[in-house]
Structure 1
């Protein structure tokens, strides 16, 4: 299993970085849309849809919704402060606050949504659609002035999430004693959680020194720590839905890694929350 995980990582990481820096906005939007469709297909299983055809239609519906939003906003990358985009990012902030409550009070909270496919689908849309717009708005950062500014921001968020996850794993292995959310994800500890936040703070400081991000260090640190918190919540939320669905992995698309959602669960929370704070709360663009 470890061999497959390493091979997949060595293949996927260069592909992701190449997509960030080499694809123009339209092509990047299409690739992101396809990733979101795959995520929606897997979310169908978390929503209780066992039929493959039903999940395919769910993926198609998600793709049509995102394509329609793009069609209505053909020039979104010149002005991200548009009601539809801002609404999606604010909705993400609201959804992850709700998700935090669902995780904190699980399994009692599951009684509110366990028997409702519609509600679970709404949760899926609130996860996937803001993630889509978070990816696109960050990629569009000062695009007219520098085609790579947004790519550096997205790369930063990805490094932040991956680094915080690795830091949490190492600190958890070395010092982990107290469970963070034993009823949702027994492997996570408070020591690992704190270690992950510490790692995120270090990454924020180093990246701010090495790359000209044109943002005050205090703002960058605040956005980074909240995004790191959100990334943990994204992981826990997917674990909660998988536990209710009785599955270990959301899919089997990536050898050794499970499905698309298993790889981007942290990013689905971190990216839109980071974008919302950076672009809407602190108005840095």
Structure 2
């Protein structure tokens, strides 16, 4: 299991980095739409859709919705304050605050949505659509003056998430004794959580000193810390929905890693939250 995870990671990480820096905006948008469609396919199972056909339609509708929203943007317009982008990013902040309450109150909170497929589908929409716009908003950051500025920001967020995940895994294995959220994800510990924060902080400091991020240090630290906390929440939230659905993995598309949602669950929270803080709260435009 560990061997297949490592092999898959060594293959996927260079591909992800190459896509960030080499794909043009249209190609990057199309790639992100495909990822979101696969995530929607898997979310159908979390929403209680046992039928394969229903899940296919959900993925198709997700792709059509994102494509229509994308086509409504003015040509060559990268303004984060366009309604499609700004509303989605603010909605992500609201949703992840709600998700935090659902996780903290689980399993009692599940009584509110356990038997409601529309509500669970709404949770999926609030997870996937802001993730899409967060990815595009960061990738297009200062694109007119520097085609790679946004790619560095996205890589920074991904390094934060990867660092937090890896640190949590290692510290949890070595020192984990106190359960973080036993009713949601019994394998996660406070020691792993703290280790993940420490790991992501070290990576953030190293990355910020080497990469051309060019924002005030205070702003960078606040955005990085909150995004890292959001990434842990994204992981716990998906674990909560999987537990209710009675499944271990969201899918089996990635050998050794489960499904697409299993790999991007942390990013679905970290990316839009980070984009909202950086571009809308602190307005580093």
Give me the TM-score of the superposition, normalised by structure 1: 0.98
What residue number does 2:33 align with?
33
Secondary structure of the corresponding residue to residue 200 of structure 2: helix
Please identify, of 198-207 and 58-67, the stretch whose mean Cα deviation from structure 2 is larger: 198-207
Matched with 1:20 is 20
How far has the Cα of 1:171 moved from its partner? 1.9
Following superposition, which runs of at least 4 residues in structure 1 exceed 4 angstroms of deviation?
A: none
TM-score, scaled to structure 2: 0.98
Preserved CA contact (<8 Å) 1:77 1:140: no
Q: Is the 8 A contact 2:152 2:212 kept in 1?
A: no
Q: Give the aligned CA root-mean-square deviation in angstroms.
A: 1.0
The Cα offsets for residues 25-58 of structure 1, whole Å up to 9 and x where unpaired, read as: 0110000000000000000000000000000000
Whole-angstrom CA distance in 1 between matches of 2:249 and 2:234:
15
Quote the residue 1:109 is aligned against. 109
Matching residue of 1:160: 160
Q: Distance in 1 between matches of 2:266 and 2:181?
A: 16
Matches within 5 A, 1:47-196: 47-75=47-75, 77-196=77-196
Q: Deviations over 1:194-240 (max 9, x none)?
A: 12112222222211111121101111111001000000000000000
Deviates more, 1:273-282 or 1:209-218: 209-218
Q: CA deviation at 1:190?
A: 1.1
Displacement, 1:138? 0.3
Deviation per CA, 1:40-89: give whole Å up to 9, x if none.
Answer: 00000000000000000000111111001001014465312112210000
Contact 2:149 2:212 in 1 (8 A): no
Q: Secondary structure at the match of 2:268?
A: helix
Aligned to 1:207: 207
Cα deviations across residues 118-146 of structure 1 (Å, max 9, x unaligned)? 00000000000000000000000111111
- Distance in 2 of aligned mates of 1:209 and 1:196: 20
Structure 2 runs not aligned, ≥5 long: none
The alignment of Structure 1 onto Structure 2 pairs a total of residues equal to 285
User: Which 5+ residue runs of structure 1 have no aligned equivalent?
Assistant: none
SS for the counterpart of 2:275 is helix
